[in-house]
Structure 1
Amino acid sequence: MRLTALVTALLVAGATLVAAPVQAAAPAPPTAGPALAATPPMGFNNWNAFGCEVSETLIKETADVLVSSGLRDLGYEYVNIDDCWSLRERGPDGRLVPDPDKFPGGIDGVADYVHAKGLKLGIYGDAGTRTCAGYPGSLGHEEIDARTWAGWGVDYLKYDNCNNQSDGSQEDYIRRYTAMRDALARTGRPIVYSICEWGTSQPWTWAEGVGQLWRTTGDISDDWSSVRSIIRQNAPLAPYAGPGHWNDPDMLEIGNGGMTATEYRTHMSMWAMMAAPLIIGTDLRAASAETLEILGNREIIAVDQDRLGVQGAVVSDENGLMVLDKPLAGGDRAIALYNSTDTLATVGVAAADTGLRRAGAYRLRDLWTGRTLQARSTISAAVPAHGTVVYRVSPLRGPGDVPPSVVAGAALGTVVPADGGTLTTAVTNRGAGDVRDVKVTVRTPEGWTATATGPSGSARLRTDAALETAWRIGVPATAAAGRHPIEITAAYRWGRRSAGTSSEIVAVVVTAPGDGRRHLSTVAPVSTVNATGPVEADQSNGGPLEDDGNLITIGGRVYQRGLGTTTGSEISYYLGGRCSRLVTDVGVDDEAAAGAPATFTVHADARTAATSGPMTSGQAPATLTADLTGADWLRLTAESGAAAVHADWASPVLTCGDVPDDSPVLPVSRTLFSFETGTDGFTIANPGDGGTVARSPLFHTHGTSGLKVSTPVAGNWFGRPLDEPLDLTGTSMLRFDVRAGEVGTVGEIAIQVGEDMSWCQGGRWGWIGPHSSRTVTERFDQIACPLGVTLDLADVRAVWVFLNTGGDVHIDDVRAE
């Protein structure tokens, strides 16, 4: 289940996690037979694609596809049921009861079906009083639940962490998860135990001997930023993984549609290199041939399932480029060249810096293309943006008849219509032996031109020599903004053979913003540099990871819009001479400790358009107004003489074209509830579950008041049916601002539509940590309605938000945009 789903008491305010390992209780005697999870588990889980919409039919049909597609024979053996499979209350005997509408044949009947297919069945539980979706948890019921699952024939348990009643200490986490470990062992049935506590208590330091795998991160989502962030968190944990005890960076999103094929191949590659469980999270019944090809790559799976059971180690990690090295049984090594940046990059590593033994050359087997090359001493590749090349590498006595590794790299500056840009290509011979008659060509989109301004050929390239060429890229004035591929090809001869290699770099064409006043956080920058982590849109810079900040807060004032940076930052935008003014508040975020000041400067081309002077933590925001008339480029810089300081550009508004100063700021926001005079009629959807609301001035992002919500532990929906139907036609999302109290909360949105008040709900369950603040967003295209119900935005009858954890939570400005 998701970390973002209905999470309750995680960490009390002020609780401190112990970084050093804490000794768990002695493990129960191991179950007789082969070691559980000697290689990372592989299989399917319904949550990522279906959420609570789980059923006996879905599980059986998925089992059928695992067999018919050949995935079972590749090692995908577990068919795992996630949350929402039971009734809301236990039976009279205290046992969990499968929902008879979802599972008319019971879980034992599903287990029999799955086992008959040569597969294994997984189930979901929770180390709390309730699961993340509010179904019965197993805290205090470990013995009866373990016996129940074993009696049904369950082979795998995913054990979540919602509603956990924890004091936040590592000792408590060990106690709760060890209790279920011992209960499972006493059943005598071999059940793989997946600890799903989201990395909160550093389980890699204590969970070996408790579970066979443990989550190391928060929940994955089907987008590139999530995958990139999880790789950065999980990759350094290699020393903690091995046969029967695996780091788990969460399930696979491959096939769910939120990423490109290149990004999905990186997802699969890096999970395999990190010896991660491979748990499919897409609807296999409708999976495309491309999805099945990625999930079914035998050679990548072999890396993940290698019997040595070693997680790949990070050899280098710099500027978004990472190299992993994973030893394999038989002496080969898997080398992954990972490019997390937004452009083509050459990624490489010296063989001497890996675990490879010395050799005259090395054989490189590309596990995605199937091509085999040889390299003398450096393993490298031109890796596309967000891509990963995985080589299976073995020593060679000499190059023999194996083609050399020739790398066609490139770099491209900003591309502006009519002005074009500059492309630099670098063709490097990494093979043992010379390559001859090298010729480089560049193929551009139709109507573009590429003109070499230096030599584009070479009679000979020795080992590790490179041919660098500069090209002038001509771009028509009518070129559309967006991404345009440019192909670089290097033809050459080695021995008596002709060969070639190519790579693709994506030209990003920038155009000036359109007419209007708009929040700068909605304008894509051309480039960003930041001292700590990424520049964050509409939140502060919380640290090194993406999406880890709070609502921007300066001198006690909370902002919905802005850019969160640290000092040592620079953000560049192309204006093309079309914009006239930028107005922004600036200051050091309240989350920053008292320390060095920050100075904010707005640059219009080469001139300084506005500057703040030094500003310190706790100081009220300053307003800058910058004249941008005629400027092609806008740059925002924040500087300090000390370590990175949390520096905010708060509510920056850019004016372009000939528009009135009082015109609406885009995107137009329509406030539905702002709690300025009372509670706006907010009530609770489920009175029996508890909760109260009251107007409060303690947190507000619109006006001077917000709403204090006292939440029950298991949560409730807060909102109200509307007096008249609401027409939200022309808007694309609902949003609200929230600040959590002593414990965190979940934020979720639902609406009711039509005369029958059909309940339509998103499924993102955004988590807000203790004392943190966020804007919770639900796009209408992410909201699901019951079968047969259309999401009619012209006939919205009620608006609801979900909050939980048993403490006070503050919200404000429920709005449509």
Structure 2
Amino acid sequence: MSITFAGRRFPRPSFRRTSALAFAGVLLAVTVPLVSLGTAQPAAALGNGLALTPQMGFNDWNAYGCNVSESLIKSTAQAMHTNGMQAAGYSYVNIDDCWMTHSRDSGGHLVPDPAKFPDGIKGTADYVHSLGLKLGIYEDAGTATCAGYPGSLGHETTDAQSFASWGVDYLKYDNCNNTGVPAQTRYTAMRDALAATGRSILFSLCNWGQENVWTWGAGVGNSWRTTGDISPSFSSMLSIFHSNVGLASYAGPGHWNDPDMLEVGNGSLTATENRTEFSLWAEMAAPLIAGTNIPSASSDTLSVLTNSRVIAVDQDPLGKQGTMVSSSGGLDVLAKPLANGDVSVALFNETGSTATITTTAAAIGKTGASAYTLTDLWSGASSTTSGTISASVPAHGTVMYRVAGGTSSGGGTSVTGELHAVGAGKCLDVPDSTTTAGTQVEIWSCNGGANQTWTHSTSNQLTVYSGSSQMCLDAYDNQTTPGTKVEIWPCNGQRNQQWTVNSNGTVTGVQSGLCLDVTGAATADGTLAQLWTCNGGGNQQWTLG
């Protein structure tokens, strides 16, 4: 939905926000060695057995807005049935806003607009089901939908029962007109109402990435939007990519980060940019929800949407979201471990000129072979390499390889333990075990407490505590100057919360390139931590585990 709301989707005051796009072109070079350091704890998933791989389907909003109808949904379903999309894995045909009348009936039930849906939602669902596809519908966790139709806030039980009785298989649940009620409360109410119907209904949370939804979404829905709405332009896609790519540790089978619907085939996106969006969404294990005019889609658009090699990366049963291996000057390398031991690599050129992007098998977590096989997932061509992975990538383009051979470290697993300050012989510590955002961290005698237990995630966050209390190590106010304080803050995926644990013992901030430093090389309990220019000193040496 096209929603205007103030600011970004993060909890900080506006003066502490920095758009990911604002620094996309000036990122410092970062290399993350993807070595196996421990075992990640699986996130608690919703447990409804749905979306064990990211959901695939269609939604009408991006192409049609409020002009939804039974005939549109049926013609789209029929096209998907015959044009190769259904065979490629697309299974949901989703109705967005404006499908109902402006008033509930005398019994408090939602009423499908009889002019738009003469056979009702059930009749439409029956037709979609007859093709072997599934039907999705839209509602809102507020008093009204974004287009002004009745919302479900306070009507969750009634509306869930209606959806189930109509044969609905998927609910996209929006966030307009929410009256300030906390999102988790509103979305959990609908989760419970859907469960009570006894029907399997995939639950897609659409609260625009607000209230750190990724930290609680896994127990509430099958996917959650991590950003505001996408639009059919490269700049919109790029901004959303940067907001979503750092949240890999929260995704997995049954619970996925959702960077919004695909714009492939829409607006000003070029053929190269269409392939890039599809590549990046697959690499990030995102839901693949097509948002274009399917019956009239060009052969080029369909060839992107039905690329089986790229879809296999998105739908890989291991369920890992790809992470950024390196990023320098708008040249990005992402790696995604796959269930059979292969690794998918995306070489993404954000810039306006053709550029060569290079990484290595070791950097993406591959070892133990004299030669590796590279399969280009767009051309299908195969080649071999002794370790270098490189391609000339056009402006705004992405080259995707599937890398086979040798052994895989799993694409970078999380490690949990104390973060030891080598020079002081102490541990990185949250003072007094507080959970207050903005508290500067310090060193303290190691004691094994939860306030000294840190997890370096596959998305390069350093987290402390767990569940609703989880906090991230954060460079204050997105600052990148020596002396910037290092604090705890609710995890939000921004680059000032991403850290590289380097093989030389340093811990560097992805955004700043500066080292995690014990102030003044002091060794006393309570000495504060900060960012400082890397200098090889013992007060910048750390071990995790």
The answer to whether TM tops 0.5 is yes
Cα distance between partner residues in 1 of 2:141 and 2:238: 29
The corresponding residue for 1:330 is: 340
Give 1:272-671 correspondences, 5 Å limit: 272-395=282-405
Cα distance between partner residues in 1 of 2:223 and 2:243: 16
1:235 matched to 2:245? The reply is: yes
Cα distance between partner residues in 1 of 2:15 and 2:100: 35
Secondary structure in structure 1 of the residue aligned to 2:401: strand
The corresponding residue for 1:2 is: 2
The corresponding residue for 1:615 is: none
For residues 255 and 152 of structure 1, do their structure 2 counterparts lie closer, same or farther at Cα, with a shift above 3 Å needed?
same
For residues 13 and 86 of structure 1, do their structure 2 counterparts lie closer, same or farther at Cα, with a shift above 3 Å needed?
farther
Query: Which has the larger strand fraction?
Result: 1
> Higher relative contact order at CA 8 Å, sep ≥6: structure 1 or structure 2?
2
Ranges in structure 1 where 5+ consecutive residues have no aligned partner: 18-25, 398-530, 533-543, 546-817
Q: TM-score, normalised by structure 2?
A: 0.67
The corresponding residue for 1:97 is: 111
Cα distance between partner residues in 1 of 2:313 and 2:14: 40
Contact residue 121 and residue 153 of structure 1 kept, 8 A: yes
Cα distance between partner residues in 2 of 1:297 and 1:319: 29
* CA-to-aligned-CA distance 1:185-238 (integer Å, 9 cap, x gap): 000101000000000111111111100000001100000100111111111111
Secondary structure in structure 1 of the residue aligned to 2:128: helix
Cα distance between partner residues in 2 of 1:353 and 1:327: 12
Task: Select 2:278's aligned residue among 258, 268, 283.
Answer: 268
* CA-to-aligned-CA distance 1:72-122 (integer Å, 9 cap, x gap): 011100000000000011111100000000000000000000001000000
Across the two proteins, how many residue pairs are aligned to each other? 383
* CA-to-aligned-CA distance 1:743-773 (integer Å, 9 cap, x gap): xxxxxxxxxxxxxxxxxxxxxxxxxxxxxxx
Q: What is the deviation of 1:367?
A: 0.5
1:161 matched to 2:175? The reply is: yes
1:66 matched to 2:80? The reply is: yes
Give 1:80-159 correspondences, 5 Å limit: 80-159=94-173
Cα distance between partner residues in 1 of 2:265 and 2:337: 29
The corresponding residue for 1:196 is: 206
Cα distance between partner residues in 1 of 2:382 and 2:405: 13
Cα distance between partner residues in 1 of 2:13 and 2:393: 44
Cα distance between partner residues in 2 of 1:173 and 1:15: 20
Contact residue 275 and residue 312 of structure 1 kept, 8 A: yes
Q: What is the deviation of 1:354?
A: 1.3
User: Rg bigger for which structure?
Assistant: 1
* CA-to-aligned-CA distance 1:336-374 (integer Å, 9 cap, x gap): 101111111111112111121321011110000111111
* CA-to-aligned-CA distance 1:243-286 (integer Å, 9 cap, x gap): 00000000001111411000000000000000000000000111
Q: What is the deviation of 1:15?
A: 10
For residues 11 and 315 of structure 1, do their structure 2 counterparts lie closer, same or farther at Cα, with a shift above 3 Å needed?
closer
Cα distance between partner residues in 2 of 1:353 and 1:370: 23
Task: Select 1:48's aligned residue among 62, 85, 97.
Answer: 62
Query: Counterpart of 1:314 in structure 2: which amino acid?
Result: M
Query: Which has the larger helix fraction?
Result: 2
Q: TM-score, normalised by structure 1?
A: 0.45
The corresponding residue for 1:246 is: 256
Contact residue 125 and residue 137 of structure 1 kept, 8 A: yes
* CA-to-aligned-CA distance 1:311-339 (integer Å, 9 cap, x gap): 00111122111111111121111011011
For residues 280 and 12 of structure 1, do their structure 2 counterparts lie closer, same or farther at Cα, with a shift above 3 Å needed?
closer
For residues 314 and 94 of structure 1, do their structure 2 counterparts lie closer, same or farther at Cα, with a shift above 3 Å needed?
same
Query: Counterpart of 2:279 in structure 1: which amino acid?
Result: S
For residues 13 and 379 of structure 1, do their structure 2 counterparts lie closer, same or farther at Cα, with a shift above 3 Å needed?
closer
Ranges in structure 2 where 5+ consecutive residues have no aligned partner: 17-43, 408-478, 481-492, 495-545
Q: Please tell me the root mean square deviation across aligned C-alpha atoms, in Å.
A: 2.5
Contact residue 7 and residue 162 of structure 1 kept, 8 A: no
Contact residue 172 and residue 206 of structure 2 kept, 8 A: yes
* CA-to-aligned-CA distance 1:775-809 (integer Å, 9 cap, x gap): xxxxxxxxxxxxxxxxxxxxxxxxxxxxxxxxxxx
Task: Select 1:177's aligned residue among 187, 201, 217.
Answer: 187
Q: What is the deviation of 1:2?
A: 3.1
For residues 13 and 391 of structure 1, do their structure 2 counterparts lie closer, same or farther at Cα, with a shift above 3 Å needed?
closer
| Aligned residues with identical type, % of pairs | 59
Cα distance between partner residues in 2 of 1:299 and 1:148: 39
Moved more, 249-258 or 125-134: 249-258
Contact residue 248 and residue 320 of structure 2 kept, 8 A: yes
Query: Counterpart of 1:135 in structure 2: which amino acid?
Result: Y
Q: What is the deviation of 1:27?
A: 8.8
